[in-house]
Amino acid sequence: MLVEDIMNRNLVTIKPYETIRLAMLLTAQHRIRHLPVVDDTDKLVGIVSDRDLRDAGPSRFDNESDSEQNEDIFNRKIQDLMNKNVITAHPLDFVEEAAYALYENKIGCLPVVDGDNLKGIITDTDILYTLVELMGVHTPSSHVEIQVDDLPGMLADISAVFKKANYNVNSVLTFPGKHQGKKNLMFRVQAVDTRRLVQSLQESGFDVIWPKEPEK
Amino acid sequence: MRPACYFVHSEAYKQYKFNDEHPFNQKRLDLTLDLMQKYELIKPNQFVEPRYATTEELELIHDPNYIEAVKKCGESEKLPIIAASYGLGTEDTPAFPGMHEATSLIVGGTLRAAELVMSGECDHAVNLAGGLHHGFRGRASGFCVYNDCSVVIAYLRKHYDAKVLYIDTDAHHGDGVQWAFYDDPHVLTVSFHETGKYLFPGTGKIFERGDGQGFGYSINVPFEPFTEDESWLDVYEQVLSEAARGFKPDVIVTQNGCDSHFLDPLTHLSCSMEIYRQIPKLAHRLAHELCDGRLIATGGGGYDIWRVVPRAWTLLWAELSDQGFSDNPAIPSEWIDRWQADSPVQLPPFMFEAEDVLPDIPRRPEITSKNKLYIEKALLHAPK
Ligand SMILES: [Zn+2]
Ligand SMILES: [Zn+2]
């Protein structure tokens, strides 16, 4: 899956010469946490987060006698505040690369840039949602989980069993097993009754982790 | 005196049959009815014949193109190419000759039950062939072709403008019914099932609460695998009582799948026969308390057809016909004599299990405390 498949294309941006007041208004109005900053040719030049804006803005405990000073803060330009070293993604990056970039840099969003042009934005929430969708259930199905040796070709061998038993697979996930040198394969299978499949898998020598009987 | 409870039944129900190896086996209806009769729980004047649901009635829920496809699949020798896109001809729900007629009769049976209850001819009516809760608008799923529960609820909405409480205690999530009324605030669906993390169909998460106007009118309780009686019943009683009293229904429809029993081969809950005494007891009490007794009961899943289904559905009938068991009666020896030779397993000697045959539950305290958390969460946005 590519970044361009899940990125948000409805961009809310701000210009470097606009004010903190406008930025605060925009983030509140659109309920967003990040504003990409673009110049008049739509080139990405920076980014501000709602946290940067809160930190820059006056404390809500300030009393009103300071309002003149507050006005001053609100009127300051975005270019004084914005972060100019923007970490970006490309529309053709894999989603997992984007996820890794967010995680490594401890940031919440990546503007998606092609050449100089801002094409979209991808946030940690978008990636979490994609993960939920990937692991979730779209059509009625059952969970079947198998522990295999971490060797090439295991998925192909298992797929052959699925094919022979005539079971349709909705989704597959693989992740490291609890034991060294093992991997778990998780399938969502389009069937209420998975007994024949489980039996075929066991007859072919596979270690089926689910469905299982209660451990005595 | 008129009976308080009717039993909708036909020999022709057995035509709803996929194939000889399929786990959905209507022989369970014979076994159940015979057990009820050997206990002398049913009188001749309590039997009612089902009718066929009309195409217009099926169309209250189902897509006309889907109904056409079902008709075609049941008529032709070879499976039409369109079958696959309607979920027909799969391992779970294979096509079979006359499938349209066979399913229409089951739907008609549940409609017949509704007519009897709504006209005041009786308080409760039972159609054990019904409970096909996985059927979708345009798609067969999970052994279900047409969805009699959805059709009857739509029928009750249309002809009686009734507020309907749907209670689903099958081990599988009642997805077909939930999605059919997901945005309707006049239909409260409450489903108690094994979590979809592992089990078919995968939905029925606690945060599926309905949509738009219907937000709060879908309630889901997903039980952890290996949940046993005490925890199951504790959650069932609290969630259902509060939700039903908040909603104030005009009529109750129940789906009484009995595949949460520890002997069921397709699921992973660890309940005993006791829950099948308690489930209809509360539904029955709520029906008299909230809606003049109006209750339509359907069957559903249940794949240990020898040991579990006959006992569970006999308990359902006994409760609704005011003959509920308070003791633990022996299974009539005439029933065992008649069926033991056919059965691949030893038939049970008593209605309820002895404590020592119940399975050991792994991680029981954790499962119980996790289920308990769901009481509050499930009721968070329920009608008050
Ligand atoms: Zn079921
Ligand atoms: Zn009653």
Q: Give yes or no for B34 touching A (CB within 8 A).
A: no
Cα–Cα nearest to B146, from B79, B76, B86: B86
- The Cα of B83 is separated from the nearest Cα of chain A by a number of Å equal to 15
Give me the pLDDT at residue A136, please.
Answer: 64
In a mutagenesis test of the A interface, which of B92, B178, B357, B366 is the best target, namely the one with the most A β-carbons within 10 Å? Answer: B92
Contact B91 A142 (CB under 8 A): no
Class of domain A3-131: alpha beta
Mean pLDDT throughout B37-48? 97
At residue B374, what is the residue type? Answer: Y
d(CA B90, CA A160): 18
Q: Which of A37, A33, A35 is nearest to A46 (CA)?
A: A37
Q: What is the percent of chain A where pLDDT is above 90? A: 56
Rg of chain B, C-alpha, whole Å: 19
B172 vs A contacts (CB less than 8 Å): 192
- Mean pLDDT (chain B) is 95
Contact B362 A190 (CB under 8 A): no
The pLDDT value recorded for residue B100 is: 97
Task: Please tell me whether the peptide bond between B3 and the residue prior to it is cis, using omega within 30 degrees of 0.
Answer: no
Secondary structure of residue B261 in the 3-state scheme: strand
Q: Cβ–Cβ contacts within 10 Å for residue B26, how many?
A: 18
Q: What are the pLDDT digits (tens) for A64-98?
A: 556 677 778 888 999 999 999 999 999 999 988 99
**Within a 10 A sphere around the Cβ of A183, how many other Cβ atoms?**
17
**B328-335: long-range pairs with CB below 8 Å, 24+:** B328/B352, B329/B39, B331/B35, B332/B35, B332/B38, B332/B39, B334/B38, B335/B34, B335/B35, B335/B38
Calculate how close chain B gets to A166, using CA atoms only, in Å.
Answer: 8
Q: Are residues A140 and B175, on separate chains, in Cβ contact within 8 Å?
A: yes
B141/A214 CB distance under 8 A? no
CA separation for the pair B20, B96 (Å, rounded):
11
Q: How far is B267 from chain A (nearest CA, A)?
A: 9
Model pLDDT, residue A8: 92
Question: In whole angstroms, how large is the CA radius of gyration of chain A?
Answer: 25
Q: What's the whole-number mean pLDDT along residues B157-179?
A: 98
Q: Can you give the pLDDT at residue B50?
A: 98
A140/B266 touch (CB, cutoff 8 Å), yes or no: no
Given a cut of 50, whether residue A216 has pLDDT beyond it is: no
Residues B95-120 have pLDDT tens digits of: 999 999 999 999 999 999 999 999 99
- The percentage of chain B sitting over the pLDDT mark of 90, rounded to a whole number, equals 88
SS3 at position A113: strand
Ligand found nearest the CA of B117: 2
Domain region containing B205? 5-379
Percent of chain B with pLDDT over 70: 100
Three-class SS state of B127: strand
CATH 3.30.70.260 maps onto chain A at 138-210
Residue A138 has pLDDT above 80, yes or no: no
> Smallest CA–CA separation between B360 and chain A, in Å?
6
Torsion of CA B88, B91, B97, B98, to 10 degrees: -50
Question: Encoding tokens for residue B211?
Answer: 């949509």
Q: Is ipTM over 0.85?
A: no
The alpha carbon of A96 and the centre of ligand 2 are apart by a number of angstroms equal to 59
The stretch B185-207 carries a mean pLDDT of 95
Joined tokens for residue B379: 């009721």
Q: How many domains does chain B have?
A: 1
Enter the pTM of the model: 0.85
Q: At residue A62, does pLDDT exceed 80?
A: no
Q: Report yes or no on B384 lying in a domain.
A: no
Q: Is residue B340 part of a domain?
A: yes
Q: Quick one: pLDDT at residue B361?
A: 84
Residue of B nearest to A186 (CA): B198
- The hierarchical CATH code for the domain A138-210 is 3.30.70.260
- From chain B, pick out residues whose CB is under 8 angstroms from the CB of A166: 91
* Other beta carbons less than 10 A from residue A105's beta carbon: 10
* CATH code: domain of residue B19: 3.40.800.20
pLDDT tens column, B276-329: 999 999 999 999 999 999 999 999 999 999 999 999 999 999 999 999 999 999
The reply to whether B361 touches chain A by the CB within 8 Å rule is yes
The rounded Å distance from CA A10 to ligand 1 centre is 44
Question: Between the CA of residue B250 and those of B70, B165, B282, what are the distances in Å?
Answer: 33, 8, 16
Determine the pLDDT at residue A170.
84
pLDDT computed for residue A146 by the predictor: 94
Range list of H helices, B132-273: 148-160, 175-180, 229-247
- B359 Cα to chain A: minimum distance (Å): 8
Q: How far is CA A212 from the centre of its chain?
A: 32
Q: Taking 70 as the threshold, does the pLDDT of residue A63 lie above it?
A: no
Confidence band for A168, pLDDT divided at 50, 70 and 90: confident
Give mean pLDDT, residues B150-156. 98
pLDDT, mean over chain A? 87
- Nearest alpha carbon to residue B175 among B87, B234, B246, B112: B87
Whether B92 and A188 lie within 8 Å, measured CB to CB: no
B201 in contact with chain A, both atoms CB, cutoff 8 A: yes
Distance CA B351, CA B341 (A): 20
B 36-75: CB under 8 A from A: none
Query: What was the pLDDT predicted at A36?
Result: 95
**Nearest CB to B270; choose among A190, A193, A214:** A214
- For A143, name the nearest residue in chain B, comparing CA atoms only: B198
In chain A, which residues fall in CATH 3.10.580.10? 3-131
- Which residues of chain B does A193 touch, with a Cβ-Cβ cutoff of 8 Å? 23, 91-92, 266
- Flag whether pLDDT at A133 surpasses 50: yes
How many whole angstroms from B246 Cα to the centroid of ligand 1? 27
- Total Cβ atoms within 10 A of residue B64: 11
Residues B127-131 have a mean pLDDT of: 98
From the list A166, A214, A215, the residue facing B91 with the nearest CB is: A166
The nearest alpha carbon in chain B to A187 belongs to: B198
- pLDDT score recorded for residue A134: 72
Locate the chain A residue with the closest alpha carbon to B23.
A193
Structure tokens at B268: 């992973």
pLDDT of residue B108: 98
